[in-house]
């Protein structure tokens, strides 16, 4: 078995690249390869020169940017000082995940493939360009590419004598073994939010437990959309931010869903457990306390409200002992069953919990230690900061639409984070929300006489509220805002605030209320009507233009 080692490195923003990397890891184990799967920024990049076989799985975000968890790796790899033959003993392959509706489609994967080639790497295959826009999603590219990849890898590293590829019907061991422990080993739901002792600035691994100060509905009660202006107190956190920055919030599942999940899987929510990695070198989940209760695991960690991916059905089918349910699960996880899976799951936005209700015999027999392989962790949600620290010191405000919509399923679909935040009432006691701040993509000019044209329909106005507050506090005029919503009387957010700034000469405000007249009027109509002013600001005064939706 010596030398049959594969390293799978991923850069993932929403979890798709991580899910694909873990799929490659499972397929490698079925081929008896020793395989490690790691995020690019947790891997010690200096070790790359010793690796013989590497598969990179990376998403492209925004305007051709690398995901957050590969930014350090990206900077290192593009150092001009790296010797041109650094990676000459490496065989590699790059799998990209992108969206062809963006101009820089799979830019990161293409650039990474080219750079590793420059550094002497030998590509096993051309770069794979998975596309979200395809009817079958990125799997349309991934499936055939992986078949070709395994052919290449097994030609270089044949199966040892007497061993065969492990059938997909055979369940691989779980990533962690779960041991129930005595109740005295307590962990409370607050453990994740322990007060920070002389720690660095809050981050994903160490969020700050911010106190919610207020949670105010800013749309009329009669309006179909519930939008909130929420304020958090971040005193003592060490958090600093500027206009255009983003606050990350770690949501949790609602107690009713947690209870249903535990009932369905025959789990006692108050039982305590510890986890032990099944293989050396596997890290424990960073955000889970040890020991932990089942309730804490399901409330704070397992994303039971997400739409499950194909890998979920694949693992579930191998755990199922009910013939009828197993056949259906196998169909959903096969390449041929992807259209049917899309109709069953993705189109109606069916949640993991709802899928488990549809497969009750399988659900009640899931061993608890497979939960962390089966269900991804709850990912943090990003919100534009809608206030300035100069105007509201030690406070962060967000403008948030509560996500709710109908599909063909009878129960309305609800956004996990927005529904949870909207349900919190700081007037009923101390409410804490785990959060941290990230640099945003919008940078506002530091020069006082540079005008700023901001186009922010709906809650897209949030970062511009922060910018306008900041610029006004610094005495900057030349603030021009195009704001659009449905009706002046129902969803004109921050109306009094804007009107006061107009009166004081700090703001030029142009509004488009699309439903207040026969013909629909949008921000683009107001821009066209005021084209002379817009052009004058651009051509004579070098204005900066910002757009947020």
pLDDT digits (tens, 9 = 90+) for 451-504: 999 999 999 999 999 999 999 999 999 999 999 999 999 999 999 999 999 999
CA distance 400 to 385: 10
Q: Is the pLDDT of residue 198 over 60?
A: no
Q: Is the pLDDT of residue 192 over 70?
A: no
Q: Which helix (H) or strand (E) holds 117?
A: helix 107-118
Give the whole-number percent of the chain exceeding pLDDT 70.
Answer: 97
DSSP state, 125?
S
DSSP state, 430?
-
Please give the mean pLDDT across all residues of the chain: 94
Q: In the structure encoding, which two tokens stand for residue 435, read together?
A: 């959060």
Residues 6 or more apart whose CB falls under 8 angstroms from that of 164 comprise none
Q: How does pLDDT run across 13-37, given as a tens digit for each residue?
A: 888 999 999 999 999 999 999 999 9
Task: Give start and end residues of each alpha helix (H) in 402-530.
Answer: 416-423, 462-473, 488-491, 495-503, 523-529
CA distance 72 to 62: 17
Residues 6 or more apart whose CB falls under 8 angstroms from that of 488 comprise 495, 511, 513, 516
What average pLDDT score do residues 110-114 get?
Answer: 97
In the chain, the domains with their CATH numbers are 5-156 (3.40.50.360), 257-374 (1.20.990.10), 452-547 (3.40.50.80)
Task: Give start and end residues of each alpha helix (H) in 334-374.
Answer: 338-341, 352-358, 360-363, 371-374
Q: In the structure encoding, which two tokens stand for residue 411, read together?
A: 């129960």
Q: Helix, strand, coil: what percent of the chain each, to 5?
A: 35, 20, 45
What average pLDDT score do residues 151-159 get?
Answer: 96
CA distance 50 to 88: 10
Q: In the structure encoding, which two tokens stand for residue 98, read together?
A: 């992108």
pLDDT at 83: 92
Q: In the structure encoding, which two tokens stand for residue 473, read together?
A: 């506090």
Is the bond into 329 cis (omega within 30 degrees of 0)? Answer: no
Do 228 and 212 touch, CB atoms closer than 8 A? no
Whole-model pTM?
A: 0.91
Q: How does pLDDT run across 395-429, given as a tens digit for each residue?
A: 999 999 999 999 999 999 999 999 999 999 999 99
Q: In the structure encoding, which two tokens stand for residue 81, read together?
A: 């000082």
Burial label, 8 (beta-carbon count in 10 A; 0-12, 13-18, 19+): buried
């Amino acid at each position: 078995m010596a030398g049959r080692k594969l390293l799978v490195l991923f850069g993932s923003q929403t979890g798709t690249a991580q899910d694909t990397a873990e799929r490659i890891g499972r397929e490698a184990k079925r081929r008896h390869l020793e395989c490690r799967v790691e995020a690019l920024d947790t891997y010690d990049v200096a070790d790359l020169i010793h690796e013989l076989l590497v598969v990179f799985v990376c998403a492209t975000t925004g305007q051709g940017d690398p995901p957050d968890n590969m930014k350090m790796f990206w900077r290192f790899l593009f150092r001009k000082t790296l010797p041109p033959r650094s990676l000459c003993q490496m065989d590699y392959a790059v799998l990209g995940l992108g969206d062809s509706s963006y101009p820089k489609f799979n830019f990161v994967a293409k650039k990474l493939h080219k750079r590793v080639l420059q550094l002497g790497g030998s590509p096993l295959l051309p770069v794979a360009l998975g596309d979200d826009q395809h009817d079958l999603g990125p799997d349309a590219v991934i499936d055939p590419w992986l078949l070709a990849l395994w052919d290449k890898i097994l030609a270089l590293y044949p199966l040892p004598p007497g061993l065969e590829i492990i059938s997909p019907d055979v369940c691989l061991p779980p990533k962690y073994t779960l041991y129930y422990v005595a109740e005295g080993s307590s962990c409370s739901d607050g453990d994740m939010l322990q007060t920070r002792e002389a720690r660095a600035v809050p981050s994903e691994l160490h969020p700050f437990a911010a106190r919610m100060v207020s949670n105010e509905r800013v749309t009329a009660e009669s309006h179909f959309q519930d939008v909130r202006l929420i304020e958090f107190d971040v005193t003592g956190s060490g958090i600093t931010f500027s206009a255009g920055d983003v606050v990350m919030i770690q949501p949790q599942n609602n107690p009713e869903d947690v209870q249903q999940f535990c009932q369905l899987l025959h789990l006692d929510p108050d039982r305590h457990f510890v986890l032990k990695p099944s293989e050396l070198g596997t890290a424990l989940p960073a955000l889970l306390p040890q020991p932990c209760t089942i309730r804490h695991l399901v409330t704070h960690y397992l994303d039971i409200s997400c739409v499950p991916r194909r890998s979920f059905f694949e693992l579930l089918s191998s755990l199922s002992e009910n013939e009828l349910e197993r056949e259906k699960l196998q169909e959903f996880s096969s390449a041929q069953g992807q259209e049917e899976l899309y109709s069953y799951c993705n189109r109606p936005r069916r949640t993991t919990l709802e899928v488990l209700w549809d497969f009750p015999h399988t659900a009640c027999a899931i061993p608890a230690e497979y939960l962390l392989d089966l269900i991804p962790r709850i990912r943090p949600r990003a919100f534009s900061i809608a206030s300035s620290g100069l105007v509201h010191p030690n406070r962060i405000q967000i403008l948030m639409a509560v996500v709710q919509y109908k599909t063909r399923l009878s129960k309305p679909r609800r956004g996990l984070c927005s529904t949870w935040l909207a349900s919190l009432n700081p007037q009923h006691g101390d409410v804490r929300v785990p959060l941290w701040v990230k640099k945003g993509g919008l940078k506002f000019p530091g020069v006082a006489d540079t005008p700023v044209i901001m186009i922010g329909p709906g809650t897209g106005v949030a970062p511009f509220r922060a910018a306008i507050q900041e610029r006004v506090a610094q005495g900057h005029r030349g603030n021009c805002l195009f704001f659009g919503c449905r009706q002046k009387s129902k969803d004109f957010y921050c109306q009094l605030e804007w009107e006061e700034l107009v009166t004081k000469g700090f703001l030029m405000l142009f509004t488009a209320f699309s439903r207040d007249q026969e013909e629909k009027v949008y921000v683009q109509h107001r821009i066209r009507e005021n084209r002379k002013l817009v052009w004058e600001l651009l051509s004579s005064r070098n204005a900066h233009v910002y757009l947020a939706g």
